[in-house]
Structure 1
Amino acid sequence: MDRLVTIKSNRYGMELRMNPDVPFEEIQKAVVEKFTDAAGFFKNARMAISFTGRTLTATEEEILIQTITETTGVELLCIIDQDEKKELMYRSIVEQTLSNIQKREGQFYKGTLRKRQVLESESSIVILGDVEPGAKVVSKGNIVIVGDLYGSVHAGAYDNRDAYIVALSMQPKRLCIGDIEAKRQLISQESLNVRGPKIAVVDGGRIYLDPLTD
Structure 2
Amino acid sequence: MPTGEGTVEFKGTGSGLTIRVHLNQPYETIKEMIRHRIDEKPAFYTGATLAAVTCEGVSEETRQELENWLASDYQMTLNAQKNHEKEREISRKTIAVSDDEEKNAALTLLQNFNQQNPKFVQGTMRSGQKVDHNGDVIVLGDVNPGAEIYAGGNIVVMGNLRGTAHAGLNGQENAFVAALILQPTQLRINQLITRSPDDVPEKVWNPEIAKIKDQVICVEPFLSRNREND
Q: TM-score, normalised by structure 1?
A: 0.53
Matched residue, 1:94: 107
Give me the identity figure in percent. 27
Deviation digits for residues 136-167 of structure 1 (CA, Å, limit 9, x no counterpart):
00000100000001110000104211001111
Matched residue, 2:35: none
Matched residue, 1:125: 137
Deviation of the 1:106 alpha carbon: 1.9
Counterpart residue type for residue 137 of structure 2: I
**Alignment partners' CA distance in 2, 1:191 and 1:155:** 23
User: Residue 190 of structure 1 contacts residue 209 of structure 1 at CA under 8 Å; is this kept in 2?
Assistant: no
Counterpart residue type for residue 126 of structure 2: R
SS of structure 1 residue aligned to 2:98: helix
Mark the CA change 1:183 to 1:149 in structure 2 (over 3 Å): closer, same or farther: closer
- Structure 1: which 5+ residue stretches go unaligned? 1-57, 59-78
User: Residue 170 of structure 1 contacts residue 191 of structure 1 at CA under 8 Å; is this kept in 2?
Assistant: no
Deviation of the 1:96 alpha carbon: 3.6
- Structure 2: which 5+ residue stretches go unaligned? 1-50, 52-80, 89-96, 225-230
Q: Does 1:156 align with 2:168?
A: yes
User: Residue 125 of structure 2 contacts residue 143 of structure 2 at CA under 8 Å; is this kept in 1?
Assistant: yes
**Alignment partners' CA distance in 1, 2:132 and 2:120:** 12
**Alignment partners' CA distance in 2, 1:130 and 1:202:** 23
Deviation of the 1:128 alpha carbon: 0.3
Matched residue, 1:209: 219
Alignment of 1:166-205 (within 5 A): 166-185=178-197, 196-205=206-215
User: Residue 169 of structure 1 contacts residue 198 of structure 1 at CA under 8 Å; is this kept in 2?
Assistant: yes
User: Residue 130 of structure 1 contacts residue 148 of structure 1 at CA under 8 Å; is this kept in 2?
Assistant: yes
**Alignment partners' CA distance in 1, 2:215 and 2:165:** 18
Q: Does 1:146 align with 2:171?
A: no
SS of structure 2 residue aligned to 1:202: strand
SS of structure 2 residue aligned to 1:213: helix
User: Residue 107 of structure 1 contacts residue 123 of structure 1 at CA under 8 Å; is this kept in 2?
Assistant: yes
Deviation of the 1:168 alpha carbon: 1.0
Structure 1 residue runs of 4+, over 3 Å off?
83-87, 98-101, 188-192
Deviation of the 1:86 alpha carbon: 4.9
CA RMSD of aligned residues (A): 3.2
Counterpart residue type for residue 85 of structure 1: S
**Alignment partners' CA distance in 1, 2:205 and 2:125:** 24
Mark the CA change 1:89 to 1:207 in structure 2 (over 3 Å): closer, same or farther: farther
User: Residue 156 of structure 1 contacts residue 162 of structure 1 at CA under 8 Å; is this kept in 2?
Assistant: yes
Deviation of the 1:100 alpha carbon: 5.2
Q: TM-score, normalised by structure 2?
A: 0.50
SS of structure 2 residue aligned to 1:109: strand
Deviation digits for residues 17-62 of structure 1 (CA, Å, limit 9, x no counterpart):
xxxxxxxxxxxxxxxxxxxxxxxxxxxxxxxxxxxxxxxxx9xxxx
Deviation of the 1:179 alpha carbon: 0.6
Matched residue, 1:136: 148
Matched residue, 1:54: none
Matched residue, 1:17: none
Matched residue, 2:126: 114
